[in-house]
Structure formats: structure tokens, C-alpha cells
Amino acid sequence: MKIKFLGTGSAHGIPIWNCDCAVCQSPNPKDKRLRSSLFVEIDDVKILLDFGPDCRTQLMKYGIKSFQYAFLTHAHRDHMNGNIELGKQQNLILEMPKPVLKEFYAILRSGKYWFEKRNPTMIIQEFKPRTLHNVKIDTVKLEHQKDYQKTPFPCYGYIFESNEFKMAYLSDYSAILEEEKLKNLDLLISDGDGFENSGHGHIGIQDGIKIFQKLAPKKMLFTHIKHTKSHDFLTKYVKQFGNIEIAYDGMELTF
């Protein structure tokens, strides 16, 4: 299995439009971040995790011509607003847990019928746990509690597990509601939106380190990075707590 980070930025990406901060003006290519998205290859099966506003740019930048599945973590616009690009993929299976699907359709509105008319080969449905080439794929329920919402927003991570490895992708969350599913991880990809958790619905770097210490994965990578701290600063900071790194756009890992 191979993974590629198509984007590792938070809702606005980096640089943020009209921002003159040091990170947004940084010459370091690792400080240039498109909105968060992950591409997974399991032998000949290709899966897109989230498809935000930068989806078209990401698919073209990395030469991605096709994929069989697209999974959505949650229906916030920085993760789903590139959905129109999915209409160009024949025989695509687009899945997400039922609560996310309800929100997705509510936001999509007439776009649902656009997909049905323009690409009748596309299937949009509730996520079904499955095994692809000996890799089991399941979800983990998360809390994505925003400071401007009274109730948590439906949000899920995805777990990929074989006899050789176990990986979890948790791009946005303020709490993990099914920690028992995250035992014995080889890799945890975790929400790193903010150096400190300020109640904005993201665990952030410092509280994310506490998750690392509690779950004890062999390796942790932070994604969904804000512009408040540079890649170099965060890389140096997290190293002191163990096998933790900051993901960057284009980063690849093979298992």
C-alpha cells in the first residue's frame, strides 16, 4: 500500500490569500499547503480521501488520471467542495458514513441530480466496511465540535489494516469517540490544525501529542496544518516527543 498527501493545509491552505505573515510568505516549499486530502493505492485500487476546493489542482499536479473510490470524512466545504471533479470519473464509488451522507446531500442540493444526469456510472452511497487486496477498511467515529455550534458535526476517520500494518487517517477532530479501534497502530495521521487547541473543533499539535502518548502508535504524522507556525518550527518541536513528523504536500509513504 502507498499513500500520498495531496494536501496538508487547513481550511484556507497556505499561503492564505491576503496574509503577510512569515509562514504565508515563507520560501520553504514545505510551507506551501493545499487543502487536506490523501491518496491511497492498494495494488491496483486507488482511493481518494476528501476532495476539497483544491481537488482539480491536486489531481493534475500529481498526474492522477483515475481512482475507483472516494471517501469523505465530513461535509465541511474545505473537504468536499471539489466534488464536481468526481463527475469526470467513470464507475466511481463515492462513500461516507450515513450521518455524513445526510449533510453532504443537504449541501449538494441540486448537485445530486447533476451527478445522476452527467455521470450515471457514479454510485453515491453509505460507507460499507470492506477488504481490498487483504486490506480491511473501516471508519472510526470522531467528534468535530466547533465553538460556533451547539452540537458536534458528523465526522469520521478511516482505518486501513492488513496482517502487516495498521494505519488511521483522522484529518479533523476534537475528540476520538471509538478509541478502541485505534489500538496497535503503525501509523496515525492526525489533525494538526493549530499549535494549541482553542476550541475551534481541532485537536491541534499540543493536544495531538497527548493522543500520541495515549494511543502509542509506532509513528504519527500531523496534517491539516495552519499558518501560525512554520514547517521547520513544528518539525523541531514534535521530534522531542517521539516518532512524530509534520506531513507536507507530496509526501509519500509505502507499507
Q: Supply the pLDDT for residue 143.
A: 93
Residues 172 and 188: their CA atoms lie apart, in Å, by 13
Which of the four pLDDT bands, split at 50, 70 and 90, describes residue 164? very high
Q: Which three cell numbers stand for residue 212?
A: 500520541
Which of the four pLDDT bands, split at 50, 70 and 90, describes residue 116? confident
Strands 130-132 and 219-223: unpaired
Percentage of residues of the chain with pLDDT beyond 70 = 98
Average pLDDT, the chain: 95
Q: Supply the pLDDT for residue 198.
A: 66
Residue-wise pLDDT tens digits, 124-144: 999 999 999 999 999 999 999
pLDDT above 80 for 148? no
For residues 153-178, give the mean pLDDT.
Answer: 96
pLDDT above 80 for 6? yes
Indicate the burial class of 23 (C-beta count within 10 angstroms; 0-12, 13-18, 19 or more): buried
What proportions of the chain, in percent to the nearest 5, are helix, strand and coil? Answer: 25, 30, 45
| Domains contained in the chain, CATH given | 2-254 (3.60.15.10)
Lowest mean pLDDT among 62-66, 119-123, 196-200, 216-220: 196-200
